Chain A
Amino acid sequence: MTDRPVVRAEGWGWRHAGRSEWAVRGLDLVIQPGERVLLLGTSGAGKSTLLSALAGVLGGDDDGETEGSLLVGGLVPSASRGTVGLLLQDPDSQVMLSRIGDDVAFGCENLGVPRSEIWRRVDESLAAVGLTLPLDHPTARLSGGQKQRLALAGVLAMHPSLILLDEPTANLDPDGVIEVRDAVARVAATTGASLVVVEHRVDVWWHLVDRIVVLAPGGGVLADGAPDVVLAEQGAALAASGVWVPGLEPVVRRGPVAGGPVAAHSGGDDPVAGGPVAAGREVLRAERLGVARTKDAVIQSGISLTLRAGRCLAISGPNGSGKSTLGLTIGGLLAPASGIIAAPFGLASDEPLRWKSSQLVSRIGTVFQDPEHQFVSGTVRGELEVGAKAVGLSSAESDSRIDELAQRLRLDHLLAVNPFTLSGGEKRRLSVATALVTRPAVLILDEPTFGQDARTWAELVALVVELLASGSAIVAVTHDERFIDAVADERLQLTPIGVGV
């Protein structure tokens, strides 16, 4: 029994219903009990598909077509529920119940574990992930990292022989990443369960795993072996495909770059833009600004800042310090709790909040943290046309801007696709592109690099550098130190209570 492999795939493949290409094909893979595997591959190589299949949540014959065989603990995955635990990327969609104890117990209940045994396992699992809170603590009051640890405890309480982690830290801030990584390490050490991790940030995980498997985009396995061996052989190729390989991270130097096709601000003949911008000219000023999501919940106050053409201001600080709220306030989307914002663009008012939506979009562009919140159209092209229509561009001008942007951000082959079906990286690139169509003088980016692979990251940095060179003022609300190093001229560090330097 113990010698039986946890996972055995033989010529396994899966094709989603309605797709012509196989998501995974010809896969031969054996994972032994207790092995810890980091699963890598370019996006589209089928990593997530394989994890879903192992977890038994891929769906039935209606959802797609399968070939070859895939066994988990000697059984087909759908019959082995409970022996496999899956931790997903989004912390919010994994919380099921309102008290943490109940949430951990949920999986055990579904498996029919007797009541007294359930509560023993709940205590044991919460301790294993280091979540020492009362059992009736409200799940709504947990941070992102705590929510992921809670979900891990829920998985653990089911006593799985195989734990699957699908980009478990992609949505977390740096502290949350460490929290979850350490909890996984502890769990792996104490339970002896096998581990399969999908994650493009290799540096976080590679000391914790004893094997790296690289899936080939066309199907099958590209490389398989000890972490340092695989990274030495495949590191360069992996890095080129967007995997964050330690020592091979993208390097971007900021220097004077000629205004690219995306960025060039048009002159006074442009019907909507504010006119030519000289680098260093002040475009927006905030004084003694207080910010709040709702009127009586002021998060920060006394913030003064100046945005200048061709300069990038990075706003950073821990979760809950009001970074995003400040970004939205500068962007003319939220009313300031106190203080003033002045952006002299020759409109009736200098206050962005008082501008019409169509006036705002050609002057201050805001890219939200969650791209899905911003999508309003059924196709990628439609999405890019929204801003162009709002500011009344001619159709010829609109088409030429959209084609340039789509090509520049590798979206040109996706113009007819529904935005919601794009990958994470594609969604991010589209949300940035939608803000650039109207060529705003100020661009506000909220966590632009969150969860992005190295390739998209490098493209975003290059784009920002290009925009700066052409005179845009950019605000980046971000945790990403590497991004700040690459693009920021100034930095505003927020603390939970006030402003630091």
Chain B
Amino acid sequence: MTTLLAPARGTRVIHRINPVSKLIASAVIGAALVLSIDWVSATVALAFEAVLFCFAGVGFGRFVVRTSPVWIAAFFAAVTILLYGKPSGESHFRVLLADVTDGSITLSVATLLRVLAIGLPAVVLFITVDPTDLADGFAQVLRLPSRFVLGALGGMRLAGLFLEDWRSLEMARRARGIADRGRLRRFAGQAFALLVLSIRRGSKLATAMEARGFGAAVRRSWARESRLGSADVALIAISLTIAGTAVAVSVATGHWNFLGGA
């Protein structure tokens, strides 16, 4: 039902790492790699990551399924750049606005590797993140306001019911005799009905949370401690190493182009 919030389980090191550090690690790698579009830095990062994926607590099948959007996005981004990217060097193929040149081929490969190098670790790290643990981390490690964090967590649970509600609404509308209308009008009406339903659910949940003392004037305690340990320090150190090495190798080999400027 609420697959969106299915708890991630496991006993490997990766499951003990605080979700906040996973977020930081992904951000570090991402930040370093968006600064330049060259194939060297992305390749170095990917090579490191490929080794680390073996320890990510994710089987090969699951890896392929969960990261498939990244592969697809990377492919389409690369093809687009290949055809329409800034032309330079020798032109190999030309139809209408599409122009495949040496420059666009290089740029396309760099883009493909970059999307993978940023996207894959982010997805892989978050397969093992439980939203509840992430909320704990936000509130306890990052000290975000607990009302906001827990409210968002409750809201996420409701989002898992959207698909089911949508199907029911679709059938209900057919049963009421109003499913023959134009596609657009039907969609708009149904989207509005889903909104109404969600708000009602939300207010019910808010009442239930309040009845359990949520928002009481007492200082809240936390049943699950969320703090950073040695495994977290290690993960962040690894991400810094990957980012640093990737940038260093790229600069040293002369491929680094800050923010795409040649």
Cα(A119)–Cα(B221), bound, Å: 12
B34 within 8 A of A: no
B224 within 8 A of A: yes
Q: Which of A108, A375, A420, A434 contacts B221 (CB 8 A)?
A: A108
Q: Which of A109, A293, A365 contacts B175 (CB 8 A)?
A: A365
Annotate B167-178 by CB proximity to A: 1 below 8 A, 0 otherwise. Answer: 111011111111
Cα(A412)–Cα(B19), bound, Å: 56
A358 within 8 A of B: yes
Interface core residue of A109, A375, A420 (most chain B CB under 10 Å)? A109
B69 within 8 A of A: no
Cα(A375)–Cα(B169), bound, Å: 9
**A368 pairs with B212, CB closer than 8 A:** no
Interface core residue of B173, B213, B214 (most chain A CB under 10 Å)? B213
B257 within 8 A of A: no
**B177 pairs with A360, CB closer than 8 A:** yes
With both beta carbons as reference points, the residue of chain A lying nearest to B168 in the complex is identified as A373
Q: Which of A96, A138, A331, A333 contacts B212 (CB 8 A)?
A: A96
B260 within 8 A of A: no
With both beta carbons as reference points, the residue of chain B lying nearest to A151 in the complex is identified as B208
B7 within 8 A of A: yes
**B175 pairs with A372, CB closer than 8 A:** no
Q: What is the number of contacts between chain A and chain B, taking CB atoms within 8 Å? A: 171
Which residues from chain A contact B2 at a C-beta distance below 8 Å? 98, 140
Q: Which of A97, A110, A155, A332 contacts B132 (CB 8 A)?
A: A97
Cα(A452)–Cα(B5), bound, Å: 33
Which residues of chain A (96-142) have a CB below 8 Å from chain B?
96-99, 101-102, 105-115, 118-119, 122, 136, 138, 140-141
A82 within 8 A of B: yes
Contact A98/B218 with A373-B169, A390-B176 known, Cβ cut-off 8 Å? no
A190 within 8 A of B: no
Determine, out of A15-23, A28-36, A86-94, A220-228, the stretch whose residues face the partner at the interface.
Answer: A86-94
Which residues of chain B (99-139) have a CB below 8 Å from chain A?
130-132
Interface size on A, residues (CB 8 A): 70
Q: Which of B9, B209, B219, B222 contacts A115 (CB 8 A)?
A: B222
Determine, out of B59-67, B90-98, B196-204, the stretch whose residues face the partner at the interface.
Answer: B196-204
Cα(A356)–Cα(B175), bound, Å: 10
A417 within 8 A of B: no
A343 within 8 A of B: no
A361 within 8 A of B: yes
CB distance from A205 to the nearest CB of B (A): 20
Contact A114/B221 with A102-B132, A360-B177 known, Cβ cut-off 8 Å? yes
**B213 pairs with A138, CB closer than 8 A:** no
A37 within 8 A of B: no
B54 within 8 A of A: no
CB distance from A434 to the nearest CB of B (A): 7
B229 within 8 A of A: no
**A95 pairs with B157, CB closer than 8 A:** yes
Which residues from chain A contact B213 at a C-beta distance below 8 Å? 81-82, 107, 110-111, 158
Q: Which of B176, B208, B209, B223 contacts A376 (CB 8 A)?
A: B176
Q: Which of A96, A365, A373 contacts B208 (CB 8 A)?
A: A96
A185 within 8 A of B: no
CB distance from A139 to the nearest CB of B (A): 8
**A110 pairs with B218, CB closer than 8 A:** yes
Which residues of chain A (138-181) have a CB below 8 Å from chain B?
138, 140-141, 151, 154-155, 158
CB distance from A299 to the nearest CB of B (A): 15
Which residues from chain A contact B223 at a C-beta distance below 8 Å? 101-102, 105-106, 108-109, 115, 118-119, 122
**A333 pairs with B221, CB closer than 8 A:** no
With both beta carbons as reference points, the residue of chain A lying nearest to B176 in the complex is identified as A386
Q: Which of A105, A140, A154 contacts B6 (CB 8 A)?
A: A140
CB distance from A319 to the nearest CB of B (A): 13
With both beta carbons as reference points, the residue of chain B lying nearest to A107 in the complex is identified as B212
**A112 pairs with B175, CB closer than 8 A:** no
B153 within 8 A of A: yes
**A96 pairs with B154, CB closer than 8 A:** yes
Cα(A59)–Cα(B240), bound, Å: 50
Which residues of chain B (64-79) have a CB below 8 Å from chain A?
none
CB distance from B249 to the nearest CB of A (A): 42
Cα(A101)–Cα(B130), bound, Å: 14
With both beta carbons as reference points, the residue of chain B lying nearest to A372 in the complex is identified as B197
**A360 pairs with B175, CB closer than 8 A:** yes
Cα(A81)–Cα(B154), bound, Å: 20
A463 within 8 A of B: no
CB distance from B57 to the nearest CB of A (A): 16
CB distance from B154 to the nearest CB of A (A): 6
A328 within 8 A of B: yes
25 sample A-B contacts, Cβ–Cβ < 8 Å, listed by A number:
A55-B211, A56-B210, A82-B216, A85-B211, A86-B211, A93-B205, A93-B208, A97-B157, A98-B2, A102-B223, A107-B213, A110-B213, A110-B220, A112-B221, A114-B221, A138-B7, A140-B5, A154-B212, A376-B178, A386-B176, A386-B178, A387-B177, A391-B177, A420-B196, A435-B175
Q: A97-B132, A99-B130, A140-B1 are in contact. List 16 more A-B contacts (CB 8 A).
A: A82-B218, A96-B208, A98-B7, A102-B224, A109-B222, A122-B223, A155-B212, A158-B212, A158-B213, A357-B174, A357-B178, A368-B171, A373-B169, A374-B175, A386-B176, A386-B177
